[in-house]
Chains A and B, each alone.
Chain A
Amino acid sequence: MHVSHLSLVDFRSYAEVELPLDRGVTAFIGPNGQGKTNLIEAVGYLATLGSHRVAQDAPLVRLGAERAVVRANVVAGSEPDARAALLEIEITPGKTNRARINRAPASRPRDILGVLRTVLFAPEDLALVKGDPSDRRRYLDELLVARAPRFAGVRSDYERVLKQRNALLKSASAAMRARRGGAGTPDLSTLDVWDTHLARAGSELLAARLELIEALRPLVAKAYESVAATESGTSNVDIRLDYKSSLGPDVHLAADREHLAAALTDAAARMRKDELERGVSLIGPHRDDMVLSLGPMPAKGYASHGESWSFALALRLASYELLRTMGGDPVLILDDVFAELDAGRRHRLAELVSQADQVLVTAAVPADVPAALSGVRVDVSDGVVRRAA
């Protein structure tokens, strides 16, 4: 698929931009701070309803403006049976965003998910290896949604149950502390109910993540090999991807929802005292992690800078492979990544992505874009976007 036209109104630094785009490679070139990432961030937002840089919507709206609009014409498939869809999202911080598809209002923004699919590589990806578990959970969950948009609902249901359950634990915990020494226990009659709903939503998310890891495992290993290749002759290191569940090592992690729901319910019962003590939910997919390892060592803390980059790139390349096997090529976005890589990785990454339907690259100088990715060049300077002759 590809984006054939992008329009922005009051998005980040742009008051207004109309940008026609082609299939193949487009490189956005310009010094730092000129608005290159802002452009591709908008494309990513339409695909995921989130930014790869910030968790909140407020910074996405141009300073002084009330709302931003991002609109893109998305073409899926190729002639003669290409299908186009016009996607539009109006971002109003503090209110519900509004989405439209082919000019018809969607009842919820998440109804547009799945129309545009992207895989975005960015300098921030190093956090997939070196960062917190939350970075890796986000990677998994975003990929689940890209693969099957209904998981946006599963994810938000789980987050909502978690919020409700935490609110109850917090007030129960405060009540317990207040009456410590006195008689009586706080009213926990509804905690069982939230346990049930946490297990229900949590088991669906957990089962999906487990299944996803299985699918990713061979793809990540293969991608790692291609991107790290020849490096000090160690092309066949044993790359591993494992799910680390807060249920603990004794629970068998089969992607069977009923089994997982029962395990989550048991864990809630087992942890009740601790949870009441601390006033938060201690077990569930929100406390899990994905462990990446190179041979016998975990990547986090042990891998070199170069190995960490290979792993991060391998995770993104694996997403690309996984998505393209169903529903066609996603749009690839490479935001300022080549400057982070050594010559070998740069070259190999460029080779691996060069055949995608559409590749959007940003770089400070033309020399940062590998030769394999020659295509259309667009200069970005002080918010002015101009196609180079």
Chain B
Amino acid sequence: MYEGVVQSLIDELGRLPGVGPKSAQRIAFHILAADADDVHRLATALNEVKEKVRFCVACGNVAEAEQCQICRDPRRDQSILCVVEEPKDVVAIERTREFRGRYHVLGGAISPIEGIGPDELRVKELMTRLADGSITELIIATDPNLEGEATATYLARLVKPMGLRVTRLASGLPVGGDLEYADEVTLGRAFEGRRQLDV
């Protein structure tokens, strides 16, 4: 254990994803030894991200205004909606330039082990968006792993009575992984080859 503030810094860093106790210690001592200006810039960035960035009221993506850039863009196709788990998946799909519709960010996938069911995700908001019938195709782009597949099955069954076209990205994505790890070409191809989901 270190003295007061140093130990609190180590503890806080240790709570970040992928940072174990040893890395937390290494980063903490790096910060202690670093230039004061560098550290201030980091602190400012951390503060600003919490002050300025919020979540888009329409799609749940990160936004600097009430709505994100994509939702505000009138050139985006209003009839196609792509459902993803996380904002980082929006970034991955945007990189492919294959998709011109809008998004809906669920905030995760169904996983009873972690206590995540439909109520913990932005499912109600999705149903509200679909209610007026202007959206005619729903692309379910949850991760190609078990929880992503289960979420896709759940959503497809839920919206089935609404009669819209429900598609899933084509196979060929690395199974068991995260959408964000797929390269642009593979992800782009998966978009093009999307298929109607039967449930």
Q: Chain A residues in contact with chain B, CB under 8 A?
A: 153, 157, 160-161, 163-165, 167-168, 171, 187, 189-190, 192-194, 196-197
- Which residue of B113, B157, B199 contacts A163 across the interface (Cβ within 8 Å)? B113
CB-based contact B110/A193 at 8 Å? yes
Minimal beta-carbon separation of B136 from chain A (angstroms): 24
CB-based contact B110/A190 at 8 Å? yes
Minimal beta-carbon separation of B157 from chain A (angstroms): 7
Minimal beta-carbon separation of B179 from chain A (angstroms): 16
CB-based contact A171/B112 at 8 Å? yes
Q: A189-B118, A190-B117 are in contact. List 17 more A-B contacts (CB 8 A).
A: A153-B175, A153-B176, A157-B146, A163-B113, A165-B112, A167-B112, A168-B117, A171-B112, A171-B115, A190-B112, A190-B118, A190-B150, A192-B157, A193-B110, A193-B150, A194-B112, A194-B150
Alpha-carbon gap, A193 to B115, bound state (A): 16
Please name all residues of chain A whose beta carbon is closer than 8 Å to the beta carbon of B137 when the two chains form the complex. Answer: none
B154 interfacial by beta-carbon distance below 8 Å: yes
Binary interface encoding of chain B residues 87-120 relative to chain A, with 1 for a CB under 8 A from any of its CBs, else 0: 0000000000000000000000011110101110
Chain B interface size band reads: 10 to 19
Count of chain A to chain B residue pairs whose CB atoms are closer than 8 Å in the complex: 45
CB-based contact B147/A164 at 8 Å? yes
- Which residue of B112, B119, B146, B149 contacts A168 across the interface (Cβ within 8 Å)? B112
Alpha-carbon gap, A160 to B109, bound state (A): 14
In the complex, 24 of the A-B residue pairs with CB atoms within 8 angstroms, ordered by the A residue number, are A153-B175, A157-B146, A160-B146, A161-B146, A164-B111, A164-B112, A164-B113, A168-B112, A168-B117, A171-B115, A187-B118, A187-B119, A189-B158, A190-B112, A190-B118, A193-B150, A193-B153, A194-B112, A194-B150, A196-B153, A196-B199, A197-B149, A197-B150, A197-B153
Q: Is the interface of B mostly helix, strand, loop or mixed?
A: helix
- Assuming the contacts A187-B119, A190-B118, A192-B157, asked whether A197 and B146 have C-beta atoms less than 8 A apart, the reply is yes
Alpha-carbon gap, A30 to B176, bound state (A): 45
Q: Is the interface of A mostly helix, strand, loop or mixed?
A: helix
Closest to A108 in B: B176
Residues of B142-170 contacting chain A, CB below 8 A? 146-147, 149-150, 153-154, 157-158
Closest to B147 in A: A164
- Assuming the contacts A190-B110, A193-B110, asked whether A164 and B150 have C-beta atoms less than 8 A apart, the reply is yes
Please name all residues of chain A whose beta carbon is closer than 8 Å to the beta carbon of B199 when the two chains form the complex. Answer: 196
Closest to B174 in A: A107
Please name all residues of chain A whose beta carbon is closer than 8 Å to the beta carbon of B153 when the two chains form the complex. Answer: 193, 196-197
Alpha-carbon gap, A165 to B119, bound state (A): 17
Minimal beta-carbon separation of B127 from chain A (angstroms): 13
Alpha-carbon gap, A194 to B176, bound state (A): 17
Please name all residues of chain B whose beta carbon is closer than 8 Å to the beta carbon of A161 when the two chains form the complex. Answer: 146
Alpha-carbon gap, A196 to B152, bound state (A): 12
Smallest CB-CB A-B distances: 9 pairs: A168-B112, A167-B112, A167-B113, A193-B154, A193-B153, A160-B146, A193-B150, A164-B112, A197-B150
Please name all residues of chain B whose beta carbon is closer than 8 Å to the beta carbon of A153 when the two chains form the complex. Answer: 175-176
Please name all residues of chain A whose beta carbon is closer than 8 Å to the beta carbon of B111 when the two chains form the complex. Answer: 164
Minimal beta-carbon separation of A380 from chain B (angstroms): 36
Please name all residues of chain A whose beta carbon is closer than 8 Å to the beta carbon of B147 when the two chains form the complex. Answer: 164
Alpha-carbon gap, A161 to B176, bound state (A): 13
Alpha-carbon gap, A191 to B118, bound state (A): 12
Alpha-carbon gap, A168 to B150, bound state (A): 13
Minimal beta-carbon separation of B77 from chain A (angstroms): 29
Alpha-carbon gap, A271 to B73, bound state (A): 51
Q: Find the residue from B111, B112, B149, B175 having the highest chain A CB count within 10 A.
A: B112
